[in-house]
Structure 1
Amino acid sequence: MAAQHVTPDTPGAQDPGLGRRIGIDVGTVRIGVASSNREATLATPVETVPRETGFKDRDKADIDRLVAIIEEYDAVEVIVGLPRDLKGHGSSSVKHAKEIAFRINRRLNGTIPVRLADERLSTVAATTALRASGVSEKAGRKVIDQAAAVEILQSWLDGRANFLNEQSNPLRTDTNEEMN
């Protein structure tokens, strides 16, 4: 498959306000899930869901579980990691992320926004953080997907905070003129 340019959503644009967000890291074998606090400032791991649904399948238990988590946490927004390379191009993994996002959105009947977030290097960052905290590689396999979901969601939350801060406090461009 040729690399295609894929554009993620912008954190904070069309923001639904305060409330929990759910972050999702889609893999071919497992799906990592994280949630935020109600203030949308801190991401924490939730669970790892075994991946069951393929492209041509009807929704299986993995989609059911993701929708149940979203409802349990009373989420106001769902953030699905969009795997891209450093140049911003997608790979076959993008199809998996888009497919899961589409299925979740369909099951939620569009009542909660499902966004695609840039997840470049999220698994690398999660792996580094786990190793730094003393988690062995073998033990880390059980939680790496959750840790990647935390990285995706925390990055979104930080981007959201920056976006909303810029909207409410635009930088003044005439600072130098005032000093003279």
Structure 2
Amino acid sequence: MRSGVRLGVDVGRARIGVARSDLHGMLATPVETVARATDGTADIDRLAEICGELDCTEIVVGLPLSLSGGSTPSTDDAVSFAQRVAAATAIPVRMIDERLTTVSAQAALHTSGRAVKGSRPVIDQIAAVILLQHALDSEASTGNPPGIAASELGPESTGGLP
């Protein structure tokens, strides 16, 4: 298992959930929810700032595929976002399948007794924790970095995603 803090990012249209790992890459915890910038780069600037504060070695961005594994407009948006983050931070960015992470986050919140309504920022952070923990667990079990490098994906290209 590679050491170093990883940042988990769940990209949405309105908000971005952010999680981090410990230095040993074993446990994911929530960090914050960043508002998605509609014009400009305030969201990417904030992620770069968080990476600097935490001395991140890698960023893991969720890749929202359809249930059948195909590309959607959200997939293309996430790939574009991940590539812009990679360019802005010069930190390796990997993308990992995030199907059903938001559903799992909502279920976890409901199970804990919190109302899902009005908890969207928390749900985004929990979804980022779930996706990052999945990436950490995958790497621990296989010995290989999870998902695929964002630089290997082009627009509308999700073929060959591990």
Using the TM superposition, give the Cα deviation of residue 150 of structure 1 relative to its aligned residue in structure 2, in angstroms.
0.5
Q: Give the corresponding residue for 1:37.
A: 22
> Are positions 1:86 and 2:61 aligned together?
no
CA distance in 2, matches of 1:84, 1:98: 11
2:135 aligned with 1:156? yes
Tell me if the contact between 2:15 and 2:121 (Cα under 8 Å) persists in the aligned partners. no
User: 3-state SS of the aligned residue for 1:142?
Assistant: helix
Extract unaligned runs of 5+ from structure 1: 1-11, 166-180
Which amino acid letter does the alignment assign opposite residue 139 of structure 2? Answer: R
Structure 2 residue 42 is matched with structure 1 residue 61: yes
Partner residue in 1 for 2:116: 137
State the alpha-carbon separation in 1 of the partners of residues 70 and 81 from structure 2.
Answer: 19
TM-score by length of 2: 0.84
Is the partner of 2:29 in helix, strand or coil? Answer: strand
Letter in 2 for 1:130: L
What secondary structure sits across from 2:55 in the alignment? coil
Query: In the TM superposition, what is the alpha-carbon distance from 1:86 to its structure 2 partner?
Result: 2.3
Task: Name the residue aligned to 1:24.
Answer: 9
Could you tell me which runs of 5 or more consecutive residues in structure 2 were left unpaired when the two chains were aligned: 145-162
Give the ranges of 4+ consecutive aligned residues of structure 1 lying more than 4 Å apart after TM superposition: none
Of 73, 80, 89 in structure 1, the residue corresponding to residue 54 of structure 2 is 73
Q: Which of 93, 97, 111 in structure 2 is aligned with 1:118?
A: 97
For the residue of structure 1 that corresponds to 2:117, the secondary structure is: helix
Distance 2:142 2:121 in 1: 34
Inter-partner Cα distance in structure 2 for 1:108 and 1:46: 18
> CA deviation digits over 1:18-74, x for unaligned, max 9?
011000000010000000011101111100000014xxx5x4211110111111111
Q: Alignment RMSD, CA only?
A: 1.5
